[in-house]
Amino acid sequence: MSNTTPKKPAGSSEFREYHTPTSGLFFRTGRVLCSRSSAFQKIEAFNHDFFGTVLFLDGLVQTTEKDEFYYHEMLVHPALACHPAPERVLIIGGGDGGALKQVLLHPVKHVTLVEIDPQVIEVSREYFPWLKACLKDKRAELVVADGNEFMAQSQRLFDIILVDSSDPVGPSAVLHQKGFFRHLKKRLNPGGVAACQSGSLLLHAPTFRAKSKFLKDIFRVARFYTGPVPTYPGGIWVYNFLSDAVDPLDIKRKPAAGLGYYNADVHRAAFSLPNNLKKLIG
């Protein structure tokens, strides 16, 4: 089937994420759910035979119903598992609700989701089965605001802060920069933990050295970890675990039942870094 382009069925559309200018993922679908431009980005959603509902933001796969759990479980549970009693949680970004869903599996008291783009919320609420239910949870609070400004201006404190941003290149770049993490640190309670996504080992490696350096300047514990995400470029995703007090290998609480990927063993394993990543972060 290679080296030829089979004809599309009538009425079908092809969505592509370009990982490089000449390669990437394609999805063909006959069921486009939404295609619009918000003040911030192009928002597209479609239904795919294998991946279910797929959300594209500015031409990049943000969420697929089939495999979102890989990313969201590994963003959320390592930080929460290492805190003895997380009560107040902040999520920056994450308008698709995937991280929120994972946080609400824990006995937390309050979760604040700060999403810049109300249309991402609207589309996700319509097409992802979990978001409507999560937003009905009395512990969940939705704030439509710029995550960077929220972090700089808020006076509130949190036990856990999760940065569920887009990639380190493009409009979310500010959420991967030193100034943002300086403010973030001030919003953590003593004993608090933050986790953020740092992008693709295949594509964003050039950003890791500088990020590693400034995170180590800011936090006493600034560890990289990895996890797979089938529909993200290169399949291996890179995260950071940030704290002034908490060892990422000191798991304090058992994981929720019924998770697709995460367990205490893969939590510990995720901090065993491959040679190429170790070399990059020094």
Q: Which residues are annotated as catalytic?
A: 164
Q: Which stretch binds its own copies (CB under 8 A): 93-101, 162-170, 234-242, 245-253?
A: 234-242
Told to check if 141 binds its own copies by CB under 8 A, we report no
**Dist. CA 92–CA 94, nearest whole Å:** 6
Decide if residue 37 touches its own copies (CB under 8 A).
no
Of positions 37, 169, 235, 245, contacts its own copies by CB under 8 A: 235
Does 236 participate in binding its own copies (rule CB under 8 A)?
yes
Residue pair 224/239 in contact (Cβ under 8 Å)? The answer is yes
Q: Which of residues 60-79 bind its own copies (CB under 8 A)?
A: 67
Q: Which residues contact 59 (CB under 8 A, 6 or more apart)?
A: 16, 17, 18, 42
Contacts of 186 (CB under 8 A, 6+ apart): none
275 Cβ contact partners less than 8 Å away, ≥ 6 residues apart: none
Q: Which is nearer to its own copies, 191 or 234 (CB)?
A: 234
User: Is the CB of 57 or the CB of 113 nearer to its own copies?
Assistant: 57
Instruction: Tell whether residue 3 is a contact of its own copies (CB under 8 A).
Output: yes
CA distance 69 to 73: 6
Residue 23 contacts its own copies per CB under 8 A = yes
Binding window for its own copies (CB under 8 A); candidates: 75-83, 103-111, 152-160, 253-261: 253-261
Task: Tell me which of 36, 42, 109, 186 binds its own copies, using CB under 8 A.
Answer: 42
**Is residue 29 near its own copies by the rule CB under 8 A?**
yes
Scan residues 210-229 and list those touching its own copies (CB under 8 A): 226, 228-229
**Does residue 47 belong to the site contacting its own copies (CB under 8 A)?**
no
Please say which residue, 156 or 278, places its beta carbon nearer to its own copies.
278
* 44 lies in the binding site for its own copies (CB under 8 A): yes
Shortest approach of its own copies to residue 96 CB, angstroms?
Answer: 16
Options 105-113, 169-177, 210-218, 258-266: segment touching its own copies (CB under 8 A) = 258-266
Instruction: Name every residue whose Cβ is closer than 8 Å to that of residue 221 and which is 6 or more positions away in sequence.
Output: 241, 242, 243, 244, 245, 246, 247, 248
Structure tokens at 244: 């002034």
Find the binder of its own copies among 7, 22, 155, 190 (CB under 8 A).
22
d(CA 71, CA 73): 6
In the complex, the residues that contact its own copies under the rule CB under 8 A are 1-3, 5, 13-29, 32, 35, 42, 44, 48-51, 56, 59, 67, 201-202, 226, 228-230, 232-236, 259-263, 265-266, 268-270, 272-276, 278
